[in-house]
Structure formats: structure tokens, C-alpha cells
Amino acid sequence: MVRNIKLTVAYDGTNYNGWQTQTNGIGIQEVIENAAARVMKQKIELTGSGRTDSGVHALGQVANFKADTRIEEQKIKIALNANLPHDISILDSVDVPLEFNSRFDAHDKTYMYQIYNSRVGNPFYRNYSTFVPSILDMGKMEEAFKLVVGTHDFRAFMAAGSQAKTTVRTVYSTRIEKEGNLIRLYVTGSGFLYNMVRIIAGTLIDVGKGLKEISCIENALESKERALLGQTAAPEGLFLLSVNYNKVL
């Protein structure tokens, strides 16, 4: 009997060319598909909730695949993990309705961007944060961060090469926290454009340094001019934390 299996996936993106199967490198999707094919003894096509770029990490990516199998749902994750490298882990595996699609049924996603803010870098965080030795004004960063909340045309926050049909997105909430030398930026939205979170993070870093004014966010939303915003922050600091769904699964 064909079943639809939903996976919750965590991965360290350091050694991969992003989520999607690549022709010029190894994608996380491909690694999981190959592991699932070995376990299920059939070709597997995995649908992810969305792409993550090279070097980006996930604690709660969601994907689904259909397979004719009798393996118990919770044993699927065990079997897959036995066939996956240590930097990719299936946290959960559950049966969902056949019509469920992890990409199109997603209601919102939460990302976290991590900054290591200290005079001296920490080698243990080099693959999991961006290093900023400058003093950052957290108050200004928080004020600027709040300006992206709401439904806006985020064209200015999109990197070149995006194939998005519309650039209107809704950001539901933002939050900034500091713990020791780590500053964490949290953003939840209906969806995000190509490099949107990294552009927001880079802009906030520039605001914190005093290189950009808080008003650059509002001005960019109004004018849709990418040049008004800051740098695109490095991929290493970005984590996909969770994907939420309206439907009861």
C-alpha cells in the first residue's frame, strides 16, 4: 500500500551544496533520497518544504515522500538514520494523508540567524555563526527588525536569480536575543524570498554597527531598492528552525 511519509530533518549544512539535489555538488535531498531508496527498495522522490543554500543548517526542515512499504512509521526514521551520515538526522517520521505536500501546505517557517559578537572569534562557532568583532547597538537592531513585520513587497530583500512569482510575503514576528557572545535573530513568516533572511540579518548588523540608519528598512520596502540595505550575511549563521502546518496531520 502506498503511504505518504512526513519527515522532520536536522542537518549541518557545512559539507553540502544546500538542500536541493545538485549537478555540481551534493545536496541533502539527494543523500536522504538515496538512503530511503536503500531502505524501501524502490526509487524515492523527496519533497522539501523549501530550499536552503550551501552552508545553511536546519533543526526542523520538513519533507515528505510516497512509498509502498510496511515499515512502521517510527521505525522508518531509525532505518533511515542507519543509512545517513552523522551530519544529517531524521528526527521524526509519521504517516500523513496522501494529498499532503510539505512545500505547498506550509503555513509558516521560523528561521534563526546567529552572530558571534566578540573581539576574538571562536573556532567552534565558525561554521554556525557569522563573526562580528564590532560593538553592536542591540536597541537599534531590535527597532529595525520590527519594521519588517507585516505584509509587504520584499523585492528589495531578494537576491538576484530568484524565480519567485510574487515578492509579497508576510512576516508574523521577529525577536532578538543575546546570550554571552551570541546574538540570535528569530523571524517567523509565511515564506521567504531567496536570501531574504540573510539580507535582513546583514542589514541589522550594519544598523548595529552604525553603518546604516534604522529607516533604511522602511525606505527599502517603499522603494524596493536593494542598494538601500546592508550586506547579505554569510550562510553559516542561518538555521531553519521549524515549519508549521495548518492541517492536522
Annotated binding-site ranges: 111
Using the Cα atoms of residue 181, residue 173, residue 56 and residue 64 in order, give the sign of their dihedral.
positive
Round to whole Å and give the CA distance between 103 and 65. 12
Cell of 84: 545517513
Residue 53 is among the residues annotated as catalytic for this protein: yes
Residues flagged as binding site for substrate:
111
Measure the CA–CA gap between 131 and 139, rounded to whole angstroms.
19
62 touches 244 (CB < 8 A): no
Catalytic pick among 53, 87, 137, 153: 53
Query: Which residues are the active-site residues?
Result: 53
